[in-house]
Copies of this chain bind each other. A is one copy, B any other.
Amino acid sequence: MGARQAQKQQSRRALLDAGLHLLADQNLASLGVREVTREAGLSPAAFYRHFPDLAALGVALVEESLASLHVMIRSVLAEAGGAEELIDRAVEVIRQHVEEHRPHVRFLARERHGGVRQVREAIDAELGRFAAEVGAALALQPVSRGWSEQDLRMLAELYVDHMVSTAAAFLEAQEADPARGQRIATAARFQLRLISLGRRHWQGS
């Protein structure tokens, strides 16, 4: 890649980082072009060399944020083992993911129901594909014998929704008091065990 392209991508990165940083206590709809470029150390006009809109910057951030999420799910499902270990590992991976990607996760939580349609739809579409991936993984487990496609899908959605809630809870808990993070983790494990138990006793639909 030429030096020209490299410098351009560096500026683009600066814009994305500046946006992510400002979105820590603000939402996308109230973000300003001048605000972002000021934080990134560029002139206002430079923004338009990279994005037509602030919504476009938002969509770019969605893609970034959820790319790391797909890596996460694989790292959980890759490890075979009993249901208990799987649950423990899943909760731990979520906790760690939130800790390491706090700005991205906060962005997702904030814009999932936020004011920018394009971004909302991008997040929902990606979470849908996410649920499909989880559903496919669930289908491979022996516990799922006799389950219809639809039931598996609804179970996967339950898991994904629970993961989202848990991640959001970690987000707010750890900002205030790291000890509260333990409470969240304990509750999440309990809830997952409960669901897993219901799953084992499920008899058709």
Contact = CB atoms under 8 A, between A and B. Distances in A.
A7 interface: no
A70 B190 CA distance: 26
Number of chain A interface residues as a range: 35 or more
B115 A25 contact: yes
Contacts of A158: 162, 187, 191, 194
A124 interface: yes
A2 to B, nearest CB: 39
A161 B172 contact: no
A174 interface: no
Contacts of A157: 187, 191
A30 interface: yes
A202 B198 CA distance: 9
